[in-house]
Amino acid sequence: MKRPYPILVALVCLILFSLILIFKFIPTLLLSAIIAYIFYPLYKRFHKYVPSYAAIISCTILILIISVPALLLINSLIQESFTIINLLRELLVQNQSTDCTNALCETMQGIVYNSNLMAYLQNMLDTFASNILQATSKIITNIPKMALELFIFLFTFYYCLKDGKSLVTFVEKASKQIKGIFTLHLKHMDNVMKAIVHGYFFVAMLQGILALLGYIVLGVPNPFFWGFLTAIFALVPLIGTALIWAPLSIILFIKGISSDNLYTIISSIILFAYGAFIISTIDNVVRPNIIAARVNVHPLTILLGIIGGLQIVGPAGFIIGPVLLSTTIRMVQDSVNQ
C-alpha cells in the first residue's frame, strides 16, 4: 500500500527536526555507539552469567578505564608543570652562574640565557598564574556541559549494549529489498571496525614498549610508569604519545643545562628525536598498514579515513572515518564490476 504524499512529507520533516534536536550530541552518540561495539564481546560474556547486571558491569568497567588514566594524566601534568616551572625559575635565578665544563653546555647556555629569551621566560612565568586561573574558571564553567555529555554518553552506551542487537535487526528488516548488498557491506564494516580496534591496541602496546626501552636507556625517572602512560595515551585520538615524551625531554634538557650535565643534555635531545621519529611515526605508518592487511584495504584509505574522521567528527572519527571511506570505495568498486 502506497503512503499518501503528505504523510511522506510530514515524515521527512519530523526526521529532519529530530536530527536538529540531537545535532549537538551526534559526536557523543557516535562515540558511545563505537565504544559499545568494542565492549559488546565482553558484555556477552557477562550476559551469560549475570544477564540482569551485564550492562551495568560493563558501564562500571568503562568508567574505571576512563577515570584511572585521566587521574594519572592530571597528576602527571601537575607534576610536570611544577617541575618545568621550578626549573625555569632556577634558570632565571642562576642567570648563567653555572660553570660549564664542555662546549655543548656553553653553547646551550648561550642560547638559553639570551636576554630576549630570558625576558620571554620571565613574562611566561608572570602570566602563568593568570592563565591557570582562566583555565580553571573555564573548566568550572563547562562542568554542567561536560556532565550532561558524560551522562548522555554513558546512557547511550548502556542501551547500545542492551538493545544494540535489536537495532541491527531493525535495520536489516528495513532493508529487505537490498538485504544481500546490505549484509555484504555490513560484514565489511564489521571487519574494518574489528581491524581498527586490534590495530590500535597492538600499536599502542608497541609504542609503550618502545617508549619504555627509550626511557630506560636515556635515564628517565620512573620509566615503567611513563611507559605505561605512553601506551595508554597512544589509544587517545588527537592527543597521542607526545603528551608524555615531549614534556619529559624538556625537563631533561632544562635539568642538563642547569646542572652542567652533558649526558642529560644529549639524552634530552635524543629522547625528543626518538619520540618524534620512532614512537609517533609508528602511529602514522605501522597502524594503517596493520589495519589494511587484516581487511585487504589500501593503507592510504585507512590513513586518510583516520585523519579526515578525526578532523570532522572528533574522537569518534578514528573508527567512523576509515569505515565509511573503505565501505564507500568497496561499494563503488562493486558497482563498477557489475
Q: Measured between alpha carbons, how far apart are the two ends of the chain, in Å?
A: 32
**What is the rounded CA–CA span in Å between residue 167 and residue 169?**
5
Mean pLDDT, rounded, for 152-163:
85
* Rounded Cα–Cα distance for residues 9 and 17 (Å): 12
DSSP assignment of 117-155: HHHHHHHHHHHHHHHHHHHHHHHHHHHHHHHHHHHHHHH
Residue pLDDT, tens place only, 228-287: 889 888 887 666 788 889 888 888 887 777 677 778 888 989 999 999 889 988 877 788
- Going by C-alpha positions, the residue among 257, 320, 275, 281 that lies closest to residue 105 is 257
pLDDT in the model for residue 206: 92
Q: What is the 3-state secondary structure (H, E, C) of 218-240?
A: CCCCCHHHHHHHHHHHCCCCCCC
State residue 148's pLDDT score. 79
Dihedral angle of Cα 131, 134, 135, 141, to the nearest 10 degrees: 180
Joined together, the cell numbers standing for residue 72 give 594519572
pTM of the model: 0.64
CB 228 within 8 A of CB 244: no
CA distances, 280 to each of 158, 225, 276 (Å): 34, 18, 5
Q: Each residue of 88-144: pLDDT tens digit? A: 666 655 554 455 555 556 565 555 555 555 566 666 666 665 666 676 677 777 777
How far apart (Å, rounded) are the C-alpha atoms in residues 63 and 54? 14
Are 256 and 109 a contacting pair, CB within 8 Å?
A: no
Output the pLDDT for position 275: 92
Residue 54 pLDDT exceeds 90 = no
Question: Cα–chain-centroid distance for residue 190?
Answer: 21
Between 179-217 and 280-295, two packed helices, what is the crossing angle to 10 degrees?
A: 150
Stretch 60-87: mean pLDDT? 76
In the chain, where the domains are located: 25-134+144-165+181-337
Residues of the chain with pLDDT > 70: what percent?
71
Alpha-helical (H) ranges within the chain are 5-22, 26-49, 54-94, 103-112, 115-174, 179-217, 223-233, 242-259, 262-274, 280-295, 299-312, 317-337
Between CA 87 and CA 205 the distance in angstroms is: 32
Kindly write down the DSSP assignment for every residue of 181-198, as one continuous string: HHHHHHHHHHHHHHHHHH
pLDDT at 214: 93
Taking only the tens place, the pLDDT of each residue in 263-277 is 888 898 999 999 988
Q: What burial letters (b/e) apply to 139-176, b meaning 16+ CB within 10 Å? A: eeeeeeeeeebeebbbebbbebbbeeeeeeeeeeeeee
What's the average model confidence in pLDDT over 62-75? Answer: 80
Per-residue pLDDT at 126: 63
Share of the chain above pLDDT 90, in %: 6
The per-residue pLDDT of the chain, averaged, comes to 77
Other CB atoms within 10 Å distance of the CB of residue 73: 17
Q: Are 261 and 255 in contact (CB under 8 A)?
A: yes
